Structure 1
Amino acid sequence: MTQFNEAQLTEAVVASFEHASNPRTKFLLQELVKSLHDYVRKTDLTFDEWAAAIDFLTRTGQKCSDTRQEFILLSDVLGVSMLVDAVNHRERAGATETTVLGPFYVGEHRVMPHGTDISEKLAGEKMFVQARVTDVSGAPLAGAAVDVWHADDEGLYDSQRPGYQSEGPSSRARFMTDSDGRFFFRTVLPRSYPIPTDGPVGAMVLQTRPHAMRPAHVHFLVDAKGHEPLVTHVFISGDDYLDSDVVFGVKDELIAQVERRTDPVMPDGKLATTPWHLMTYDFRMKPGAGVAPKPLGATAAEAAE
């Protein structure tokens, strides 16, 4: 029986993947082993700490469901999600900046007519969102699919509410851009909110950081033929947490001036019965290809698109 010291053990495990049929798989596993073994050596990891880590990961997996992804949340708060995003989008060439998908891209995003109030049953200050999708030169992209989702006035996503399964989606939808690349909809003004703190990831954040907050934002996933899918947020200027987002997702270009308006008529000509807010943003798509992410727990029809 071969006996290994610290260095030889790492070399042996790395060598054990030498015959992997896929070169990329071989590379990823060997580099992972090197990094993990280095971490154990640098920290002098104890048995208790090792057991605690395994327990933490076990509980993280147990918290996942069709409407919740605790591992994505873990990746987010460790900055891994933004790092993966950064290394895959190093050159934007005038295209809109990307950011994290987040753990709440779930369920069905139904195609809705422009102007739909996607938060019709919710309390909160009204907001009108008008946006345009173009290529990097400013030419409109017609027929692009745009998925939108966001937290409500209480800082909750629909999938976090007890009645989600029976009541269906709210504050989420899909719009198709018109011939000028435009789409618009009504909703409520989202608020900054804490990441879920009832699971192992949230508990870790509360024990180690000043807060668990994300600044107010609307998620957008834009999928246009002949262009790389765009996953991004539009943040609301003036939010208290823009400089301390718990998942490190804010970029200056993605902060929009959301105006409070008292005009009696909204941009689509319909009457406004109360003061409202206006969000305007243009999305510039990078040429290329790629497959857009599918929502967690999407319907079979949507998953097959």
Structure 2
Amino acid sequence: MTEDFVNGAAVQALLDRASGLDAEGGDGRLKAIVRELAEAVMRTIVRHDVSESEFWAAIQYFQEGAAEFGLIVPGVGLEHFMDLLMDARDAEAGRTGGTPRTIEGPLYVAGAPLVEGDVNLSDDPDDTGTLYMSGVIRGPGGEPVEGAILHVWHANSQGWYSHFDPTGEQTPFNNRRRIRIGSDGRYSFHSKMPNGYSVPPGGATDRLMRALGRHGNRPAHVHFFVEAPGYRTLTTQINFGDDPFAADDFAFATREGLLPVPNRQGDAATIVFDFELQKAGASTEEGFSLRARAAV
């Protein structure tokens, strides 16, 4: 069987009907997208001679693994692809500079406490060292950014994020804060040291990674949103440059410029990291994407 089968009149008519192209009303752009996606899946089925049993096994996998879609999407490179695509669009528009963007991941929680000064992120005890992180938020001309809010979140030493911790032992905003930045653009926080972690063992993401001959590990890292009036909201994270998985992050979040090496002394580690924001070209760039996010 060749892909010419998909080009046949019966399949093409099916695609037109299934995507609503032969129906009045609806969203024309969405119809075109749905049609192309469905056709791509059909061509893949024919090209790789997928059997009926394999097809339904794949459907069952996605049904059972729906709760891990937020991990599967970065694991297969799609979330990083969106970063590469946005970078390319910026380059086409002549927009350069700024701290590199990288994936958000699925574990942000809206509504973290809004605080100022030298902030302690950790509410709960943890048998680990202390991370000290500080720096300056600047604009493209090197000017301190006034009125910025730095959202920061990371896992505990066991690799669990508050709100998503299956042990139920963390308070809702442990290792999560929004930091109001002063006129000098400086931020400073400390917290219990995050460690790297793996996707849930035996879960949908782990099973897929193993089937692909890959692992599901992430290095120790800290997530950030940076928002400020007149500037593009930045989504990024830093990976600890001395972590064994720093250059082999299953989620493809590692990017040049986002790999600071902590200065370690005893059980403490210090990272100095500055953020550079781009000017917003429109007010819509000052907000967040419409991605669904948890809230407490």
- 1:89 matched residue in structure 2: 87
Aligned-partner residue type, residue 24 of structure 1: R
- 1:271 matched residue in structure 2: none
How many angstroms does 1:217 deviate by? 0.8
1:72 aligns with 2:64: no
Kept in 2, the 8 Å contact 1:197–1:206? The answer is no
1:102 aligns with 2:105: yes
Aligned-partner residue type, residue 288 of structure 2: A
Aligned-partner residue type, residue 77 of structure 2: G
Partner SS for 2:207: helix
Kept in 2, the 8 Å contact 1:108–1:295? The answer is no
**CA 1:244/1:20 → structure 2, altered by over 3 Å: closer, same or farther?**
farther
Alpha-carbon distance between aligned partners in 2 of 1:295 and 1:257, rounded to the nearest angstrom: 32
Matched pairs, number? 276
- Listed as ranges, the gaps of 5+ residues in structure 1 are 65-69, 263-274, 300-305
- 2:60 matched residue in structure 1: 55
1:113-132 matches, within 5 Å, as 113-120=116-123, 121-132=125-136
- 1:266 matched residue in structure 2: none
How many angstroms does 1:181 deviate by? 1.5
Aligned-partner residue type, residue 97 of structure 1: P
- 1:213 matched residue in structure 2: 217
Alpha-carbon distance between aligned partners in 2 of 1:13 and 1:138, rounded to the nearest angstrom: 57
Alpha-carbon distance between aligned partners in 1 of 2:46 and 2:251, rounded to the nearest angstrom: 28
**CA 1:160/1:209 → structure 2, altered by over 3 Å: closer, same or farther?**
farther
**CA 1:43/1:23 → structure 2, altered by over 3 Å: closer, same or farther?**
same
RMSD: 2.3
- 2:30 matched residue in structure 1: 25
Aligned-partner residue type, residue 152 of structure 1: N
How many angstroms does 1:93 deviate by? 0.5
Alpha-carbon distance between aligned partners in 2 of 1:28 and 1:78, rounded to the nearest angstrom: 20
Aligned partner of 2:208 among 204, 207, 224: 204
Kept in 2, the 8 Å contact 1:105–1:295? The answer is no
1:194-251 CA-to-partner distances (Å, cap 9, x unmatched) read 1223421222223433422111110001122222221111111111112211111101
- Listed as ranges, the gaps of 5+ residues in structure 2 are none
- 1:284 matched residue in structure 2: 276
Alpha-carbon distance between aligned partners in 2 of 1:207 and 1:28, rounded to the nearest angstrom: 29
| Matched-pair identity in % | 24
How many angstroms does 1:23 deviate by? 3.5
1:6 aligns with 2:6: yes
1:109-258 matches, within 5 Å, as 109-120=112-123, 121-158=125-162, 159-163=164-168, 167-258=171-262
Aligned-partner residue type, residue 277 of structure 2: M
Kept in 2, the 8 Å contact 1:13–1:33? The answer is no
Aligned-partner residue type, residue 88 of structure 1: M
1:154-207 CA-to-partner distances (Å, cap 9, x unmatched) read 22222224225x732211111111101121111122222112234212222234
1:34 aligns with 2:39: yes
Partner SS for 1:55: helix
How many angstroms does 1:285 deviate by? 1.3
How many angstroms does 1:73 deviate by? 0.8
How many angstroms does 1:53 deviate by? 0.8
Kept in 1, the 8 Å contact 2:75–2:250? The answer is yes
Please give the TM-score of this superposition, normalised by the length of structure 1. Answer: 0.83
**CA 1:13/1:228 → structure 2, altered by over 3 Å: closer, same or farther?**
farther
- 1:298 matched residue in structure 2: 295
Alpha-carbon distance between aligned partners in 1 of 2:279 and 2:31, rounded to the nearest angstrom: 31
Alpha-carbon distance between aligned partners in 2 of 1:178 and 1:227, rounded to the nearest angstrom: 16
Please give the TM-score of this superposition, normalised by the length of structure 2. Answer: 0.85
